[in-house]
Structure 1
C-alpha cells in the first residue's frame, strides 16, 4: 500500500537536509587533509563507483519502480518483479567485477589508482543490497533515506577518526564508497524481518527476466548515452587536466550536488502517485503538480546562486585554498543544476510514467554527439570552466528536446 505523499515528502526532506549537512562537513575536511591532488584521486574512485553502479542498476530504478507503482497491492506480482530483478542485477554485477579486474591487470595505472578502481567496482554491490527502486514504487522512500543517512553519518565519523593525511586515502575511499553497501545490508535485514517482499526462486523465470530486461533496456540504453557528460567527466578531467584540477572541479561539483539533494525528494515522493494519475488520465492534476514543483526548484536555485555570488568565495576560502576558482565554477554549476531539475520533472515525472521511455535514447544520442563535438575545444578554450559550460549547454539542449517531444505527443492533454 502506498504511503501518504505529504508525509513521505516531509520525512524525505528532513533526512535529506541531514544528508546535505554531512557533505558540507565532509568535503571541506577531506579536501583539507588529503590536499587537492589526492582529493582528486578520491573523486576518481567515486566516478568509477558511479559508473559501476550505473551498469548494475540497468535502468530498473524507473522501469521496475513504475511496474510496482501501478499496483502496489499485488504482493505476488511485487515479489515476482523483485526476485527476477535481483537475479539480473547479480549477474550484471559479476560481469562488471570481472571487467574491472581485467582493466586493472591490463592498464598502466599507478598502484594507488588500481586499488581505487577495484574499490569503486566492488562498491556497486550496493545496487543489489539496497533496492531503492522497490521502495520508490511502493511510495516508501523514507525507508531508504533514513538508512542512507545513518550509513553516511557513520562514514563521516570513521573518516574524521581515521583519515588524517594523504596516506589514509584508501581508508577514506573505503569509508565513502562502502557506506551505501552497509546501508544495503541494513535494508536486507529490514526486508526479511518485516516481510516487505519475498525473494523466492519459484518466481524466477527466463520469460520474466527477458520481459523485465527489455522494458528496462530503454531506460538503460538512453542513460548509457549520458555517461559521456555525467560520470565520465571526472575521468576526462583527470586525463586532460590532472588530479589537482579534478580536485577543484570535484569540490565545486559536490557543493553543487547539494542542490540536487533538495530536488530529489520531491520527485521521489511523487513518482508513485504520478504513475497512478497517468494511469487514471488525470492530466489537469498532473499539470498543476508539475508547475508547483518547478516553482520550488526555481526558488531553491535562485537562493543558492545569490548566496554563492555574495558569500561563496569568502566561505570556501576558510576550508579550501582554491576558493575563487570553486566559487566561479559554482556559478555555472548552480545554473546547470536548475536545468537538470527541470529535466528531472520532464523525464522522471512525465516521460517515464507516461510509458514513453523509448524517446530517451533519441534525446540522449543527440546530446552525447553534441557533447563530444564541443568538449575538446571547450577544454582547450577554458580548461575546467570549459567543461562546466559544456555540461550546461548539453543539459539545456536536453530540456529543449523533451519540451518539444511532450508538446508534439500531447502527453499532458
Structure 2
C-alpha cells in the first residue's frame, strides 16, 4: 500500500462536474489499495472574486482580514469534494489548514510553513478515509488564519507530503507533464519522463508555469518525489521530478525556456573605478527592483559600459533611476530596450559535456540571430536576443539538440 498526496488546482476543480471528475480519480486511486490525501485550491476565479469583494470595502484591505476571506475559497472546495467522494461510496473527511494545524509564520498573504502536525491525517487514513485538505492556508502561533501567496496550494501539498513521508506527491494540472519547451512555440516538444529538482527549479525560475518555485524548492529539500499529471486525461505517467540518480544516462539538455518579460538597460562611458557597480545597482536595489543578468565591458579609455536586465514592469522606473545615476557619474549615455527575450538551455548533462555553448551560439548565428547578452551557470546557459526571434531561436535550438527524440534514440 502506497501513501500518495494528490493536488488539484483551480481549473481542475472549477465546476461541480470537474469536482465530480476529481472524486472519480481519487476513488480509483484509493480502490487500487493506496492511502490518499487530497490537497485542493479554490475553484478557478474564486480567489480573484474574494479579493474584489475585499477591495470594494477597503482599497487596501487589512492583510489579516484578507487572509480570513481568502481562506474561504478552499473551504468550499474541500467540502464539495468530500461530498462527491461520499456520494461515490468513498469515505472522506475535509479539513482546513487550521484544523490539521499547518503552522506558519505571521506574514499575512505570503506566509511560510514552519510545521505540520500529521497525526489527525494519519488516523483518518488508517480508518480507511480519504483526507481532503485545504491548500494555500495555515495558522500562525497566535491562532490567526494565514495564506501562503499565489500558487501556495502546490507548496501545501508538498509540505504535507514531506510531513507524512509519502511515497509520491502528484500534482494534477491542465498539462500532462513537463515538456522540453512550450508546445505552443514548438509542436515537436516532447514530454519528459523525468527531470531533476535542480532542472525544474531553473525552468520554473525562467518562466515555466507548470509548478510554483517554492513547492519545487520544498520538494528538493525534503526529497519528496513529485509527479506532474493531467487532471483531464486518463492514464499517462506524467513527469517525475526527483533527485539526480547515480548511473542515470542524463540527456545533455532537458529543456528550453523563453522569458519575454525582461528589459535591458545600459549605461555607457562610466569611469572605471572601484565601487562603480554598486553606485549603479545600489539605487536600483533600493527601489526594490530585481536585477537578473549583468554584463560589464571595460574600454581602452578607462571607462566601462554596464548592461543589466530587469523585469519589464520595472523598466521605466529603472530607466529613470539610471539616468539620475548617469548624471552623478558623468556617464556618456543611457540606453534601454524592452523588446528582448531571454532564451535558456537547462540540463544537468552540461556538467560533464563541453561544447554546448558553442553549439548554441553556432545555431543562433546560422539563423542570423544576434546575441546581446550571455549568462551561464553550472546547468544553464541564457542568452538575450531580439524579441522577434523568440520562436525561431527556440525551434532552431530544439532541433539542434534533438530534443524531439527520447534519450538513447
TM-score computed with the length of structure 1 as normaliser: 0.26
Which structure's residues are more often strand, by fraction?
A: 2
Which structure is richer in relative contact order (CA contacts within 8 A, separation 6 or more)? 1
TM-score computed with the length of structure 2 as normaliser: 0.26
Which structure's residues are more often helix, by fraction?
A: 1
